[in-house]
Structure 1
Amino acid sequence: MTMSNLAYDTPAETGDLSQQDIAAMQALRPVPRISIQAFCETEGVANPVERAGEDRRMAKAHLKVHMGGVPTAIEFYQSAPTPNLILLESRSEPQQLLEQLGQLAEYCDPSSKVVVIGHYNDVGLYRELIRSGISEYVIAPVSMTDIVSVVSSIFVDPESEPIGRSIAFIGAKGGVGSSTIAHNVAWAMSSLFKSEVVIADLDLAFGTANINFDQDPAQGIAEAVFSPERVDEVYLDRLLAQCAEHLSLLAAPSTLERVYDFDAEAFSQVIETAQRSAPLLVLDMPHIWSGWTKSTLIKADEIVITATPELANLRNTKNMVDMLKRLRPNDPPPKLIINQAGVPKRPEIAAADFAEPLGITPMAVINFEPLLFGNAANNGRMLSEMDAKNPVVATINEIAHVLTGRSEIKAKKKAGLGSILGKLSRNKK
């Protein structure tokens, strides 16, 4: 018998995640609010543990890394309470490791879970550790993905209801059409795949989802945000406006009777509740940068940036892409939609030139179609309701396929950048 089915025997951490690692991470549910303390003997283990603590799926967990193995933990817990989870790295031989863990057990609360990261691929050791109450034995070297996976396997109930996928749409500038695209993509998802979709309009002052769907609900997302203690699936269901057979809306009040200053976690409760209510949640984000927009974007499963092909949009998009890459190091980059391309007599940046400094292939390039979009907006209808055969509708449908994993973005050849990067660098000076 080998340890391959018993432990997470993986290559050492190399920095960038593989596509397989990214897929594995995206399948994981968020870890609940727990305390974790790690005692590491080597940087090769300490580094991926620290990276795991920075992952958005571990946002609620409080992780502290100490250098030093089991002896350090024994000394530490003689005068400190034990956390929900203790991660222990040990290079000790099996018998010595078991003796050390026996000593540690004298100071551990019975409710604390323990994961051991060892350097011996020993089936007998594994069986003895599990028999003695250790939650998991992981063989070094380990990756960040391994750490998040093992924590998730211990603290996330496999029988719990699945959590819906959240897709956040945000514009590189105001007026680029992010909300319109978000609404139409949500409509496409619900109608093409017969899947329940919830749209949450997070622009409480100026949101347009109620207009675009010709809805005037008496209540909406404001009631949920201002009374988070009341939010559960039943309460949320009362706030939803039905837009189509499989499409529901959490509408914004779109009034200026009060100011909408929120703390960083203001929308967390309503978003988490909505994710338990439907398999797909579309977040229509306003073009602002605040604590709560930053927090919401960090936690989203997918981010879509809509931009028009001009220089300020390119600068803003690059700033957002770079920032999100730092904030979400274990997630793929945001998706990019270039909207309003081909405006008559307007100088603009070619799609390939726009995308190259971002390192992202655009998910779609949507041409300027003022008649189609204008008629749809003025009539409170979706684009497909106005002209189902229009090429823009086909593009919206393809976006829906990509965002639900039913197809992939088709790569296009890159063009030369000319003076674009120069302009960007000059603007930063």
Structure 2
Amino acid sequence: MGGDRAIAREVPDAQRGGAVISADRPSLMAFVADEASEAAIRGGIGDVLGAQLRRGTVRTAVKALEKETTPRVLIVDISGIEDPFGALDDLASVCTPDVRVLVVGERTEIGFYRDITRNVGVHEYLHKPLTRDNVTRLFAPHIQGGGEGGQDRGGQVTVVCGVHGGVGSTTIAVNLALQLEDATRGHVALLDLHLRGGTAAMMLGARVTSGLRVALEEPERVDSLFLDRVAVPLGERVRLIAAEEPMETDVQATEEGARRVIEMLRQRFNHVVIDLPLPPGPVERLVLQRARHVVLVLGPDVASIRDTVSVKKLVSMTGSAGRVITVLNGAGRKGYLPIKLIAEGIGAPPDVVIPDLPRQLPRAANLGRPALRDSPVLRRAMGVLSLEIAAVRSEERGPSFFARLFRRGG
């Protein structure tokens, strides 16, 4: 299909930077500390197109992948690392969730092997000295695309929706995505599902194509290069996926299209923030069902009290297991309800309170610049919200952040 509906429209080369969606994603990247291990890996894996072998440890990998593209398969060396589990946690924060991680080290205890492959969640561990044969037998299947297929690994989905129009839900979604990048150092996708009249791109001064609409209407056209074509870089690790369809357009989004887009994003990003329109149709209900968190944005008014109670019930009825987080936007606005009455009306104090910012937010929207960058007050409030979301990954020390991020099936 041609014309402006063609999903194959390319993003200009200048917009392709960043570590998440490069079409030149390395198939393999290895960081090993000694020449003998490097030689064993080279001999054991054979010729792998695009493979990169470098000298260093897991700490070297963390520094490199803060700026570079996450490979499909990553080998890291934990030799000499005092806290290997902490180092692997740091590694997880700079990698996309679909990476397959293989580890080499000096420890030989069977308990350590079980801990690192089961509780920590890396795919395989080999102790030194490495041999060409054991690399071929245990690492090569992962590098060649075999091993454990169909695992449910993926990033965390957070849905943001306004309980009614005009409460600032898109402002919250945009700034939350940027705050999550700053707070977690992870890769973040911002998906705006307001295909007609959406304002996320406008708030960010970004130009988008019609690729998202095509993907939602014709899921069979969503291929491995979908993100390269439609995602707009907002920073080193943040991408916007949005559309600006004319109001007269009859958008026919499908549940399968939404499912495929979300799962693709989950495989490439640590956090997926979705600006979701209400009331929900079948597509929106499916999105709610996949959310880890549902952020309900309300204003300091009577209609918001009524609609917050109603939307909470609706989220529950969809079967969503996501935690509902209430965000009161515009607290203290002259002539509106105080927080105490809002809390009484919705049955609990709002989880996050954002004070009225009558000058900063409109100015930022008109300039196409995120308000988070210029408003310390908003930045503090968004920090509270990002903590509510990201803290789920560090509830307890049990399975590490690495294991939860690169979740293995079961």
TM-score scaled by structure 2? 0.56
1:343 to 304, 325, 333: 333
Q: CA deviation at 1:288?
A: 2.8
Going from structure 1 to structure 2, the CA distance change for 1:239 and 1:170 (only over 3 Å counts) comes to same
Q: Corresponding residue for 1:234?
A: 225
Going from structure 1 to structure 2, the CA distance change for 1:366 and 1:288 (only over 3 Å counts) comes to same
Q: What CA distance in whole angstroms lies between the structure 2 residues aligned with 1:252 and 1:161?
A: 28
Q: What CA distance in whole angstroms lies between the structure 2 residues aligned with 1:239 and 1:205?
A: 16
TM-score scaled by structure 1? 0.54
1:404 to 365, 387, 390: 390
Q: What CA distance in whole angstroms lies between the structure 2 residues aligned with 1:283 and 1:171?
A: 12
Q: What CA distance in whole angstroms lies between the structure 2 residues aligned with 1:342 and 1:227?
A: 45
Which deviates the most, 190-199 or 218-227?
218-227
What does the per-residue CA deviation read over 1:162-188, in whole Å, with 9 as the maximum and x for residues that have no partner?
A: 211100000001010001001001011
Q: What CA distance in whole angstroms lies between the structure 2 residues aligned with 1:190 and 1:237?
A: 20
Q: CA deviation at 1:308?
A: 0.5
**8 Å Cα contact 1:233/1:277 also seen in 2:** no
SS at match of 1:163: coil
SS at match of 2:214: helix
Q: Corresponding residue for 2:175?
A: 184
Q: CA deviation at 1:158?
A: 8.0
Q: CA deviation at 1:363?
A: 1.9
**8 Å Cα contact 2:170/2:199 also seen in 1:** yes
Q: Corresponding residue for 2:207?
A: 216
| Identity score, percent | 26
What does the per-residue CA deviation read over 1:105-124, in whole Å, with 9 as the maximum and x for residues that have no partner?
A: xxxxxxxxxxxxxxxxxxxx
**8 Å Cα contact 1:335/1:360 also seen in 2:** no
Q: What CA distance in whole angstroms lies between the structure 1 residues aligned with 2:211 and 2:233?
A: 12
**8 Å Cα contact 2:189/2:272 also seen in 1:** yes
SS at match of 1:244: coil
**8 Å Cα contact 1:182/1:284 also seen in 2:** yes
One-letter code aligned to 1:274:
L
Q: What CA distance in whole angstroms lies between the structure 1 residues aligned with 2:201 and 2:350?
A: 28
Q: What CA distance in whole angstroms lies between the structure 1 residues aligned with 2:385 and 2:149?
A: 31
Q: What CA distance in whole angstroms lies between the structure 1 residues aligned with 2:209 and 2:169?
A: 25
In the TM superposition, what are the counterparts of 1:22-421 in structure 2 within 5 Å?
160=151, 162-328=153-319, 331=321, 333-344=323-334, 346-348=335-337, 350-387=338-375, 390-405=376-391
- Structure 2: runs of 5+ lacking an equivalent: 1-147, 395-410
**8 Å Cα contact 1:338/1:364 also seen in 2:** yes
**8 Å Cα contact 1:202/1:286 also seen in 2:** yes
Q: CA deviation at 1:302?
A: 1.1
Query: 1 or 2 for the larger relative contact order (CA 8 Å, sep ≥6)?
Result: 2
Q: What CA distance in whole angstroms lies between the structure 2 residues aligned with 1:266 and 1:282?
A: 17
**8 Å Cα contact 1:309/1:339 also seen in 2:** yes
Going from structure 1 to structure 2, the CA distance change for 1:235 and 1:333 (only over 3 Å counts) comes to closer
Q: What CA distance in whole angstroms lies between the structure 2 residues aligned with 1:300 and 1:334?
A: 10
Going from structure 1 to structure 2, the CA distance change for 1:332 and 1:235 (only over 3 Å counts) comes to closer
Aligned length: 249
**8 Å Cα contact 1:208/1:254 also seen in 2:** no
Q: What CA distance in whole angstroms lies between the structure 2 residues aligned with 1:191 and 1:255?
A: 34
One-letter code aligned to 2:170:
S
Q: What CA distance in whole angstroms lies between the structure 2 residues aligned with 1:271 and 1:280?
A: 11
What does the per-residue CA deviation read over 1:127-179, in whole Å, with 9 as the maximum and x for residues that have no partner?
A: xxxxxxxxxxxxxxxxxxxxxxxxxxxxxx68836211100000001010001
